[in-house]
Structure 1
Amino acid sequence: MSESKSPQYCPETLALSAGFVPDHQTKTTTPDITMSVNHCFVPEEGSFSANGIEDLADAPFLYAGWTNPTVRQLEQRIAALECTDDAYATMTGMAALSAVFFSLLRAGDHLIISDVCYAAVYELARDVLPDYGIEVTAVNLTDLDAVVQAIRPNTRLIHAESPCNPLLRLTDLAQLAHVAKQHQVLLSVDSTFATPVITRPAVLGADLVIHSLTKFINGHGDALGGCVAGNKALIAQIRSRAAAHFGATISAQNAWLIMRGIETLYPRMKTISDSAHQIAQWLENHPRVKQVNYPGLTSHPQYALAQEQMAYGGGIIVFQVDALDDIAQRFARDARLFYYAYSIGHQRSLAVLLKTADLMTSTYRMTAEQEQQFRHYAGDGVLRLSIGLENPHDLIEELEQLLR
């Protein structure tokens, strides 16, 4: 994947071509799907010993638990789009995060994690990692002084999310990467909300880039997947543990479905972002809407950073309204275009209520100051919209009906 650091083509082209070679017999113009779990091989003396292969991806295809031809194409395409040496694809986004944490951290190590991030990631860090002797500190990563104060001699990894779920708060990735490198700490970034269309964390200095491929990158709501991209040595280390011992490798069928989604990723994200921006502007002027969080709006507290770090505002909007429960019931009961459901990044628009009190009880363990910062963005709760490919005028018309 040497071409990924200095791509021969533009990203829009790499989304279709990276890792793809037409089958030498059929000359197909679409990637084939290889469902076989096993592959025949003729071993040469000593070539397949445990010490003979540093990276399982460098071996001939042997067993799908390590990698398979379809999965490998997906990994090469992600690496090319993220401008990294390599990538490892997993069965879910959480499997990718788990692979990173349990491959790179040991008992006695210290992890710094964003105090607001995807609930399952936060709960894994808060409830599970300490059972294995890993210390965890949750920090508002917008405050670099707080990050520096949290770093200890045993800190091994800082994990960020930008934009973060559900607040759409941003992290200055270039500055955070500078701090991490000064202290010889690795930086991983969950860029699921952004995708490589909007932000490339590795270009800004991150060591690892993580995605839930289930979301925007797949884009069709029909396949689970995750990935972690980074330099070859780090990915080899993660793959050797997670693929061989955790059973986290993605299926060939899901890898094929996600590659199909990647081929339309750039036009989809542009369309979705343009629609989301129109809708966010409309919501901001609605009398029942108290606050809108969207990185593309000038009202976003980090609008300047968004302009510097993001190509588009993205496809997620969160907003506060009066009579929050009543409005949420209307979305669940009466909406025809906004499907009331969790998850994000589908071709159809989704909406869901996220109440602050529920999140504080179920997931986050915040100090009073951290909760105050959370409520600055979320108040008592937000409606989260994941904008799809519908015409934005139709979506606005439905919002007008739901917000009456």
Structure 2
Amino acid sequence: MKIETQSIHVGLPAARPGEPVLSPLVPASSFYAHPDAGFSANDLSDAAPHFYTRWSNPTLAALEARLAALDGGEAALAFASGMSAVTGLFLNRLKAGDHLLLSNVCYAGVAEFAHDALPRLGISATAVDSSDLAKVAAAIRPETRLVHIETPANPVLRLSDISAIAGIAHAAGAELSVDSTMATPVATRPLDLGADFVVHSLTKYACGHGDALGGAVIGPAAAIADLRKTSLIHLGAALSPFAAWLILRGLETLPIRMKAHEDNARAVTAFLETHPRVRRVYWPGAASHPQHELAVRQMRNFSGMVSFVPDDGPALARQFADRLKTVAYAVSLGKTRGLLFYIPTGDLIASSFRLEGEDAAAYRDIAGDGVFRLSVGIENADDIIADLAQALG
């Protein structure tokens, strides 16, 4: 099946009279057990029936089957949030004495977890500009076990070459995980490019409606089964069945929504690139993006994320918050409605990314004193542009 069909049909009940035509919501927390069933997660086998929803649930199983199909993976595992999916993967694949190499521009919570929490467990972490393959190769250590990249990267939409980095990681005996939240499987399937795992915040484009939190890891069946036993069951970050059901509903329109997001982002980028209060605009689909050639090679859809550097960020942020009507001045991304938020560069460099020297200067060259991260919605493009124009003044 093509992706438009997979996004609707994978995980549905069998086509028999009396069966629902949609994946049912099963809110039960526990299920009838076999008298010989064990009480420990260590007894869990791949063929085990549903037992307790922290372990598995029919609605979550339908979501996981669909996610695996969309990303071309053997299996998927749903978590309560994108953050829990990333941290669960890190804690499963890394142990004391191991080394993590990650993008030095990525979701702030992931950067903070790598810098603050992992060292307390005896796991070292190095952040590197993953758009520079030479720097990635130079930062690999004998004890590197996992390379984690985010592409496009939050918030400046820097890209990383998944195929090339997979080759570097595998040559060193390490695995590669890719946070592909902003791209979605409509744009990029990292597993096809050599990655071992792909991570999504399902809260964003996958759900698409801003009404559910969720995360997922997709990869080899054996590794995902182990991830279920350790990071999901023992850490407890289980996705609720209702949230899973909402995300399943959202996935049905994902390919159509991503086309609309991309079309609107193209129009909004063209508008912003000519506005006198905007210094620079970043959108992978624009010829002006410094990595546009890689975007064309690696992405079948350029997504709806646009970042731009203003002439006066703090003042313009207040102006946007006061004046915007169609676009919401709010965090998050990937919703049907447009969302915009200002991210000061100094805050990220100091508190989240911990960039110094050359890396800090390089980020400032891209982001200036701060960037507006604009998640372009699927409203009429003319209405979005008119709202931005009146708010810019």
Query: Per the shorter chain, which TM-score range?
Result: over 0.9
Q: Distance in 1 between matches of 2:24 and 2:354?
A: 46
SS across alignment from 1:84: coil
Within 2, Cα distance between the matches of 1:230 and 1:75?
11
Q: Which residue of 2 aligns with 1:166?
A: 155
Name the residue aligned to 1:97.
Answer: 86
Give distance in 1, aligned partners of 2:355 and 2:71. Answer: 33
Distance 2:259 2:32 in 1: 43
Among 232, 250, 269, the residue aligned to 2:258: 269
Matches within 5 A, 1:346-361: 346-361=335-350
Query: 1:6 — aligned with what?
Result: none
Instruction: Indicate the SS of the match to 1:354.
Output: strand
Which of 18, 27, 35 aligns to 1:35? It is 27
Q: Is 1:247 aligned to residue 236 of structure 2?
A: yes
1:207–1:230: 8 Å Cα contact kept in structure 2?
A: yes
SS of the aligned residue for 1:311 comes to coil
Preserved contact between residue 13 and residue 22 of structure 2 (Cα < 8 Å): no
Instruction: Select which of 123, 127, 144 maps to 2:133.
Output: 144
Distance across 1 between alignment mates of 2:147 and 2:185: 20
* TM-superposed deviation, 1:49: 7.8
Amino acid corresponding to residue 89 of structure 1 in structure 2: A
1:30-66 Cα offsets, whole Å, 9 max, x none, are 111011111113245x8888766444xx311111110
User: In structure 2, what is the Cα distance between the partners aligned to 1:171 and 1:137?
Assistant: 16
The residue correspondences of 1:45-124 to structure 2 (distance < 5 A) are 53-55=44-46, 58-124=47-113
2-side partners of 1:200 and 1:184: how far apart?
A: 22
Distance 1:59 1:23 in 2: 23
Change over 3 Å in CA distance of 1:340–1:50 after alignment to 2: closer
Task: Give how far 1:172 is off.
Answer: 0.3
Amino acid at match of 2:55: W
Deviations 1:113-164, CA, capped at 9 Å, x for gaps:
1101000000000011000000100011111111111111111000000000
Q: Under a length normalisation based on structure 2, what TM-score does the superposition of the two structures give?
A: 0.97
Deviation at 1:223, TM superposition (A): 0.3
| CA contact 2:348–2:354 (8 Å) conserved in 1 | no
Alpha carbons of structure 1 residues 324 and 94: separation in structure 2 relative to 1, 3 Å: same
Q: Unmatched 5+ residue regions in structure 1?
A: 1-8
Q: How does 1:207-226 map to 2 (within 5 A)?
A: 207-226=196-215
For residues 269 and 117 of structure 2, what CA distance do their matches in structure 1 show?
37
1:13 paired residue number: 5
Once residues 25 and 91 of structure 1 are traced to their aligned partners in structure 2, the CA distance between those partners, rounded to angstroms, is 33
Partner of 1:227: 216
Q: Which residue identity lines up with residue 245 of structure 1 in the other structure?
A: H
1:80 CA displacement: 0.2
80-89 or 375-384, which deviates more: 375-384
Distance apart, 1:98 and its partner CA: 1.1
Structure 2 match to 1:298: 287
- Matched residue SS, 2:386: helix
With normalisation by structure 1, the TM-score equals: 0.94
- CA–CA distance in structure 2, aligned partners of residues 264 and 282 of structure 1: 27
- The one-letter code of the counterpart of 2:370 is G
- Alpha-carbon shift at residue 367 of structure 1 (Å): 2.0
Distance 1:368 1:385 in 2: 28
Question: Is contact 2:176–2:196 with CA below 8 Å preserved after alignment?
Answer: yes
Which residue identity is paired with 1:120? Answer: G
Give secondary structure in 2 for the equivalent of 1:203. helix
CA contact (8 A) 2:79 2:85 kept: yes
Consecutive unaligned residues of structure 2, counting only runs of 5 or more, are: none
Letter in 1 for 2:25: I
Query: What letter is aligned with 2:125?
Result: V
- Work out the CA distance in 2 between the residues paired with 1:40 and 1:139: 49
2 CA distance for matches of 1:161 and 1:244?
26
Q: Which moved more, 1:353-362 or 1:389-398?
A: 353-362
Q: Does the aligned pair in 2 maintain the 1:293–1:377 contact within 8 Å?
A: no
Q: For the Cα contact (< 8 Å) 2:214–2:243, is it kept in 1?
A: yes
Q: Is this contact kept in 1: 2:284–2:302, CA < 8 A?
A: yes
Secondary structure class of the residue paired with 2:341 = strand
The one-letter code sitting in structure 1 at the alignment partner of 2:226 is Q
Do the aligned partners of residues 47 and 244 (structure 1) sit closer, same or farther apart at CA in structure 2, a change above 3 Å counting?
A: closer
Q: How does 1:337-348 map to 2 (within 5 A)?
A: 337-348=326-337
After superposition, the Cα gap between the structure-2 partners of 1:70 and 1:23, relative to the gap in structure 1 and judged at 3 Å, is farther
* Cα contact 1:22–1:30 (8 A) shared by 2: no
Distance 1:51 1:293 in 2: 48
Per-residue deviation, 1:24: 5.3
Q: 1:213 Cα shift?
A: 0.3
Equivalences, count: 393
Corresponding position of 1:289? 278
Deviation at 1:289, TM superposition (A): 1.2
Q: Secondary structure at the match of 1:96?
A: helix
8 Å CA contact 2:42, 2:229 repeated in 1: no
Give distance in 2, aligned partners of 1:263 and 1:217. Answer: 9
Instruction: Please say if 1:318 is aligned against 2:307.
Output: yes
State the 1:211 CA deviation.
0.4
Separation of aligned partners in 1, 2:216 and 2:250: 15
